[in-house]
Amino acid sequence: MNPSSLAALAGLALLASTAVSAQTISRGEVIASTCFTCHGTHGVSPSTIPSIDYIPAERMIETLRAYKSGQRYSTIMGRHASAYTDAEIVEAANYLAGLQKKGK
């Protein structure tokens, strides 16, 4: 390999690494992506599990807290919600509500 193609490769590697570091993923987004496994991409469910894409942030926070405390009955959501702190619930709810504003 000649020196100029080596330099080009090094440049490419640098570009690739800046592209990755420029992409910041919020904690709300990471948590919300776990919801999509069951509730469908962006909360639009393809199955009998309810869609969650229309729920405002305030109601989502209340619902997740109720699942977490056991105040609201669930088969799965209580166990899932209890894995998150109150702050994480708020961040996930805000991220999900933000998707609705973006029209997703």
Residue 35 binds to ligand HEC (criterion: CB under 6 A): yes
Rounded Cα–Cα distance for residues 49 and 66 (Å): 18
30 binds ligand HEC (CB under 6 A): no
Of 1-9, 18-26, 74-82, the segment contacting ligand HEC by CB under 6 A is 74-82
Q: Using an 8 Å Cβ cutoff, are 86 and 42 in contact?
A: no
- Residues comprising the chain, all counted: 104
Stretch that binds ligand HEC, among 1-9, 10-18, 21-29, 48-56 (CB under 6 A): 48-56
Of 42, 51, 31, 59, nearest in space to 101 by CA: 42
Q: Which residues bind ligand HEC (CB under 6 A)?
A: 31, 34-35, 37-39, 49-50, 52, 55, 60, 63-64, 74-77, 80, 92
